[in-house]
């Protein structure tokens, strides 16, 4: 009888330890998953966060819904320039002529004059930082013969990269009702730019550049707001709202995040910083 009571005691004690352990695990899981996720009140809002090491989607809101890319378009324009340099069709010193049409594009711009030319290195710097629309059109005409033809080339490249919901109609992101993308497609492009052009990706991390004796500052404030941020591009039109694609590398972890449709640049940048801090702990190391 004493032996039976002893066995029942040890059985009850073991079950209690198991219950305590399971309860601790459950509590830990609740704590991990209940951390607040940043949100936006904008009706144009879309966002995605991707673990750049594994490709796993860590967060998505309306990530496959159509949005206007605005100047995120220039990420693809630069992809096409990087590819042309990689393939030997141009070099950073190649002179790109400026047509009257390119010079007429509205700001933001370098205010190039018709008949001038701009070297490809300056063009890449101005596209990544200043988001110059006159330069984007000049590049499009140089590589595609016309901006319309170049936009078709951009769309074809988007399909090759797996950007299934993106259509380009110009090289700048200036308003066009038919120019559409998604937050996910912009994340795919962000990942492809680093993967395919590691030696040229650094253009997206520039804070500014010197041009004709002046220092031209970039628009991407998140580069200084978020530890480990190394790119990539801002964008805005009235139709799109404030857009941003960001790449972050920290302690062997890498994220790519896209925020689209925010109401102000300040809100967009703050939300991006919050998303990075919220989801970077969930990313994998190399």
Q: What's the pLDDT tens digit per position in 134-174?
A: 999 999 999 999 999 999 999 999 999 999 999 999 999 99
Confidence at residue 248, expressed as pLDDT on a 0 to 100 scale = 98
List the strands of the sheet with 241-250, edge to edge: 57-61, 46-51, 253-262, 241-250, 229-237
Is 15's pLDDT higher than 70? no
User: Pick from 42, 67, 282, 41: which is nearest to 184 by CA?
Assistant: 67
Number of folded domains that form the chain: 1
Determine which one of 42, 126, 131, 240 is catalytic: 131
> Which of the pair, 112 or 31, is modelled with greater confidence?
112
Residue 36 within any structural domain of the chain: no
> What share of the chain in percent tops pLDDT 70?
88
Is 39's pLDDT higher than 90? no
Per-residue pLDDT tens over the stretch 202-226: 999 999 999 999 999 999 999 999 9
Confidence at residue 32, expressed as pLDDT on a 0 to 100 scale = 41
Element (H, E) at 242: strand 241-250
Whether 71 sits among the annotated catalytic residues: the reply is yes
Residue 245 within any structural domain of the chain: yes
Confidence at residue 35, expressed as pLDDT on a 0 to 100 scale = 72
Instruction: Measure the CA–CA gap between 228 and 250, rounded to whole angstroms.
Output: 5
Would you place residue 5 in the very low, low, confident or very high pLDDT band (cuts 50, 70, 90)? low
Please give the annotated binding residues for substrate, written as ranges.
233
> Which of the pair, 32 or 188, is modelled with greater confidence?
188
Reduced to 3 states (helix: H, G, I; strand: E, B; else coil), residue 47 is strand
Residue 164 within any structural domain of the chain: yes
Which range marks the domain in which residue 59 is found?
41-282
Determine which one of 71, 172, 190, 240 is catalytic: 71
Residue 101 within any structural domain of the chain: yes
User: Pick from 141, 140, 129: which is nearest to 76 by CA?
Assistant: 140
Per-residue pLDDT tens over the stretch 43-100: 999 999 999 999 999 999 999 999 999 999 999 999 999 999 999 999 999 999 999 9
DSSP assignment of 79-112: HHHHHHHHTTS--TT-EEE--HHHHTPPSSS--P
Residue 211 within any structural domain of the chain: yes
Is 26's pLDDT higher than 60? no
Is 286's pLDDT higher than 80? no
Element (H, E) at 232: strand 229-237
Determine which one of 44, 74, 130, 157 is catalytic: 74
Q: What is the CATH number for 211?
A: 3.40.710.10
Instruction: Measure the CA–CA gap between 269 and 223, rounded to whole angstroms.
Output: 10
Residue 12 within any structural domain of the chain: no
Residue 215 within any structural domain of the chain: yes
Is 30's pLDDT higher than 50? no
Confidence at residue 8, expressed as pLDDT on a 0 to 100 scale = 52
Is 180's pLDDT higher than 70? yes
Record the pTM.
0.87
Is 9's pLDDT higher than 70? no
Neighbours of 9 (CB within 10 A): 10
């Amino acid at each position: 009888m004493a032996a039976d009571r002893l066995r029942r005691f040890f059985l009850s004690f073991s079950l209690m330890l198991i219950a305590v352990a399971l309860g601790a695990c459950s509590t830990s899981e609740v704590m991990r998953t209940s951390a607040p996720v940043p949100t936006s009140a904008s009706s144009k809002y879309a966002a995605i966060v991707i673990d750049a090491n594994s490709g796993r989607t860590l967060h998505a809101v309306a990530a496959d819904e159509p949005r206007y890319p605005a100047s995120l378009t220039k990420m693809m324009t630069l992809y096409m320039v990087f590819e042309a340099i990689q393939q030997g069709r141009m070099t950073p010193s190649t002179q790109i002529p400026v047509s009257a049409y390119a010079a007429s594009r509205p700001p933001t711009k370098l205010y190039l004059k018709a008949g001038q030319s701009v070297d490809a290195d300056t063009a890449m710097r101005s596209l990544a930082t200043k988001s110059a629309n006159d330069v984007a059109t000049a590049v499009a005409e140089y590589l595609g013969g016309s901006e319309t033809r170049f936009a078709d080339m951009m769309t074809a490249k988007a399909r090759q990269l797996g950007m299934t919901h993106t259509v380009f109609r110009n090289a700048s992101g200036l308003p066009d009702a038919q120019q559409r993308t998604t937050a996910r497609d912009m994340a795919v492009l962000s990942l492809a730019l680093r993967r395919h052009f590691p030696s040229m990706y650094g253009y997206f991390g520039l804070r500014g550049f010197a041009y004709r004796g002046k220092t031209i500052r970039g628009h991407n404030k998140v580069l200084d707001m978020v530890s480990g941020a190394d790119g990539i591009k801002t964008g805005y039109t009235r139709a799109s709202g404030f857009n941003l694609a960001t790449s972050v590398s920290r302690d062997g972890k890498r994220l790519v995040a896209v925020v689209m449709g925010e109401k102000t640049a300040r809100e967009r940048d703050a939300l991006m910083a919050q998303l990075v801090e919220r989801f970077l702990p969930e990313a994998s190391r190399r």
